Structure 1
Amino acid sequence: METLFITHPSCRLHEMGEWHPESPQRLDAISDQLLSSGLGKFLVEHDDIQPATRAQLERVHKAEYLDWLHKHSPAAGHFSIDPDTAMNPSTLGAATHAAGAVVYAVDEVVQGRAETAFCSVRPPGHHAMPAQAMGFCFLNNVAIGAAHALAHYGLERVAVIDFDVHHGNGTEAIFAGDERVLMCSFFQHPLFPNTGSERTASNMVNIPVPAYTKGHEIREIVTTYWLPALEAHRPQMIFISAGFDSHREDDLGQLGLVEADYTWITEQLLAVADRHAQGRVVSALEGGYNLSALGRSVVAHIKALAKL
């Protein structure tokens, strides 16, 4: 069955300054690597998606927060939310299309028109809290997609997997205590946002790791902690917050993963999905700021998603 590659032109229009690592060139690097890999001919590309609706956003975000974003969206220049996070006139369009891409992927996968999907979108989402933008993130794309699967399609159990170098504090804040959602992650600690190491809700399997942790150690964590929890949860759909800044070449973290590690992790998740979720996996881009490593890692991830 098909693997979808979903993006939207508006996702390239959001920018926070030429100095900022979360740049439009990230999507260009992914597209360039897909082209050079020859993988594109095996994918079905969609770039005509609609933005997420207000009702879809309000499943995870406070109405007052969404109003605040619209109120402070600048007509020109930038509006700074924190030292790392700012809006330009195109940010809200990009963010709502990024969330809409994940919603669209859910629709296509649940309705059987595809088995897996990768959303090459920005801005990223996993730091976006119910009522706060932070860490380059405005809307929590994966959480919006997972909430759509639960509310619109009546799924009873989903899993969110986050392998970004940074803890997905926004996703945890949204789903902590919701037993329908199992969240599994590893992340470098201490590192922004300096959360996730404390004891938390029973549906959270968060594994902080020190700087310079290598791929073989991460594989042990996945085998020891993630996979048993996933087998017990029996998710009917798996969502991936696919951050590639755990790569050893990425300067925003100090972990030691390489492309083969992303391939292995993706294969383990697909095996769980095949057993419990009719193979249904939706993945969305989070971090990854070394452009070469990002492009190569996404190609490895998509190749595994497509079982090529």
Structure 2
Amino acid sequence: MATGFYSHPDCLLHDMGPWHPECPARLQAIEDQLIASRIDTLIEREEAPLASEEDLARVHTQAHIDFVKETAPSVGRAEIDPDTLMSPGSYHAALRAAGAAVAATDAVIAGTYDNAFCSVRPPGHHAEPARAMGFCLFNNIAIAARHALEVHGLERVAIIDFDVHHGNGTEAAFSGDPRVLMCSFFQHPFYPYSGADNHASNMVNLPMPARTKGMAVREAVDLMWLPRLDEFKPQMIFVSAGFDAHREDDLGNMGLVEDDYTWLTEQIRAVAKRHAKGRIVSSLEGGYNLSALGRSVVAHVRALAEI
């Protein structure tokens, strides 16, 4: 079996303006690097379906779903906060992004793929159950994880978040839920200024100072994440895959490189093989230096597919 690669042209229609770093060119940069690295023919491409409101409602309030739908403009842009805007294509893009994660979950559990990566936007891990923020409208990975628990009946899932920003929305969805173990690292203090003070037993948060490099992250993961994951024995692993901790990314101030993302993915894959039948669904979060983003996603996908 192979690695599924989920995306959709609708994800390019979400456009927050020429000044905004979370831009359609991010997905195009990933495609360019997949072709340049010659692995585009070694992965199985799938078009992301639209998420249903039932999918969204496993994480988000109906009021939030209605707000996002009604805020989408017919022309121009509508502002949710100074960093998060909607264009006419944004609502459909958000449904595709969440739908990709749900469809990938179905396919991996069915055994169609060993694992899957969702090359989608908008990202999701800042979206709280009742609030859009931080470039995010719906929480794609949280929706997929809840789908695995409530539709497929899994009893334990892990969520790995390696974005430079803390996944406050995912934490808000699952803090205190014994069915979910969330492991994350993030630059701190830094937007959204959360995660360092959560003492819920199912949250393994690793706040990292600015300028932290890959070897320090690897040591912390080895000491703090991996023992907890082995103890928890997840039946499936979900990854919020942000690549803005890369040393070339100006939206953060950490020092990771492609080899660090390869190493992280290999550790996640090894845990999945030990406990979860290899089942992993990963979805794109941050990463705003286009070259570094494309190279890092290739490293991540290569490690997922073992190519």
Under TM normalisation by the shorter chain, which class is it?
A: over 0.9
Alignment of 1:207-226 (within 5 A): 207-226=206-225
Alignment of 1:12-31 (within 5 A): 12-31=12-31
Q: CA deviation at 1:170?
A: 0.2
Q: Residue 5 of structure 2 aligns with which residue?
A: 5
Deviates more, 1:57-66 or 1:195-204: 195-204
Q: CA deviation at 1:71?
A: 1.7
Look up the equivalent residue of 1:5 and give its one-letter code.
F
Q: CA deviation at 1:200?
A: 2.4
Q: Residues 217-262 of structure 1: CA distance to partner in whole angstroms, max 9, x if unpaired? A: 0000100000011001100000000000000000000000000000
Alignment of 1:36-51 (within 5 A): 36-47=36-47, 49-51=48-50
Q: Residue 138 of structure 2 aligns with which residue?
A: 139
2:118 and 2:250 mapped to 1: Cα distance?
23
Q: Residue 171 of structure 1 aligns with which residue?
A: 170
Q: Residue 200 of structure 2 aligns with which residue?
A: 201
Q: Residue 118 of structure 1 aligns with which residue?
A: 117
2:43 and 2:282 mapped to 1: Cα distance?
14
2:49 and 2:251 mapped to 1: Cα distance?
32
Q: Secondary structure at the match of 1:187?
A: strand
Q: Residues 259-288 of structure 1: CA distance to partner in whole angstroms, max 9, x if unpaired? A: 000000000010000010000000000000
1:218 and 1:101 mapped to 2: Cα distance?
29
Q: Secondary structure at the match of 1:153?
A: coil
Unaligned runs of 5+ in 2: none
Q: Secondary structure at the match of 1:134?
A: coil
Q: CA deviation at 1:91?
A: 0.5
Q: Residues 133-189 of structure 1: CA distance to partner in whole angstroms, max 9, x if unpaired? A: 000000000000000000111000000000000000000000001110000000000
2:126 and 2:285 mapped to 1: Cα distance?
9
2:198 and 2:283 mapped to 1: Cα distance?
27
Q: CA deviation at 1:41?
A: 1.4
Q: Residues 31-79 of structure 1: CA distance to partner in whole angstroms, max 9, x if unpaired? A: 00000100011100112x3211111100000001111112221111011
Alignment of 1:1-308 (within 5 A): 1-47=1-47, 49-308=48-307
TM-score (norm 2): 0.99
1:129 and 1:143 mapped to 2: Cα distance?
10
**Runs (4+) of structure 1 moved beyond 4 Å?**
none
Identity in percent: 61
Q: CA deviation at 1:95?
A: 0.2
1:287 and 1:199 mapped to 2: Cα distance?
22
Q: Secondary structure at the match of 2:80?
A: strand
Look up the equivalent residue of 2:27 and give its one-letter code.
L
Unaligned runs of 5+ in 1: none
1:250 and 1:197 mapped to 2: Cα distance?
23
2:302 and 2:71 mapped to 1: Cα distance?
40
Q: Residues 98-157 of structure 1: CA distance to partner in whole angstroms, max 9, x if unpaired? A: 000000000100000000100000000000000100000000000000000001110000
Q: CA deviation at 1:21?
A: 0.2
Look up the equivalent residue of 1:30 and give its one-letter code.
I
CA RMSD for the aligned pairs?
Answer: 0.6
Q: CA deviation at 1:199?
A: 3.2
